[in-house]
Amino acid sequence: MEWESFQEEAHRIYEEIPSEYREGIDALAVRREALPHPTHRDIYTLGMCYTEAYPSGFEGPETTRSVVALYYGSFQRLAELDPDFDWDGELWETLTHELRHHLEWLANEDQLEGVDYAMEEGFKRAEGELFDPWYYQSGDPMAEGVYRVEYDYYLEQEWREEDFAAAREITFRWHGGEWAIPRPDTLGDVHFVWVHGVDVGPGTLQLVLLREKSLRKAVSRFFQGRGPELLESEAEARHPRQAIG
């Protein structure tokens, strides 16, 4: 998409958003430059919500003002990396994401900070850097033990070592159906299993297998200066009635 078309489409989408959701937004700024991630290659920030709160005992659009910025260069860089890049879809997603930042600032409850933190830690994990093993819990809770970070889903399961060793497969429910994967050889403290073969739309599904620990073991590990044992594997999901082996 060319620069002029990008500007026009951005403002068109912005104007289509109901005015009550844009209250307190002073401007939509469309910038030419790219905003690369400070440490991660091929990661770009598409938009930002710059918010300033003015001292007042009243919280509202009169005291919390924002400017939403879109970075055309970032969209362009990502389009070069992905031939299937959806300009219109990403524009809509980015605008609504930044508007939600503003609305949650108005409510003094910026829940997206947790999602942004989870995404940042996910980037660290992808780059092989040290990361918070429970980063996904800062995402959006969808159900008990189910979290979403953007398009990706994480399903938690806690296992006792003896139960895990006795199991032949790991079962889980997804979209109302029951699925199973072969049991990994090792449990670890936090074991991320990339699950293939289920419909997750544009995202991914990971089972997060957690070792159930006693307080004594946890304290002992802490004083020994040892972090959690982190593992990662992949598995193809099947319905339990199908043979696994």
Residue range 207-233, pLDDT digits in tens = 999 998 644 454 444 444 556 789 999
Q: What is the predicted pLDDT for the residue at 113?
A: 67
- Token reading at 178: 């029951």
Query: For the stretch 192-218, what's the b/e string if a residue is b when 16 or more beta carbons lie within 10 angstroms of its beta carbon?
Result: bbebeebeeeeeebbbbbbbebeeeee
Residues of the chain with pLDDT under 70: 37-40, 53-64, 104-113, 213-227, 241-245
pTM listed for this prediction: 0.57
Q: What is the predicted pLDDT for the residue at 55?
A: 45
Q: What is the predicted pLDDT for the residue at 182?
A: 96
Q: What is the predicted pLDDT for the residue at 109?
A: 54
Task: List, in sequence order, every residue forming a beta bridge with 143; answer none if it has no partner.
Answer: 146
Q: What is the predicted pLDDT for the residue at 151?
A: 77
Q: What is the predicted pLDDT for the residue at 57?
A: 46
Q: What is the predicted pLDDT for the residue at 243?
A: 47
Q: Give the pairing of strands 169-174 and 177-182.
A: antiparallel
Q: What is the predicted pLDDT for the residue at 126?
A: 87
Residues 6+ apart with CB under 8 A from 31: 69, 70, 71, 72, 73
- Token reading at 70: 């879109």
Q: φ, ψ for residue 45 (rounded to 5)?
A: -85, 125
- Dihedral sign computed on CA atoms, order 83, 84, 88, 90: negative
Q: What is the predicted pLDDT for the residue at 107?
A: 59
CA 39 vs. chain centroid, Å, equals: 18
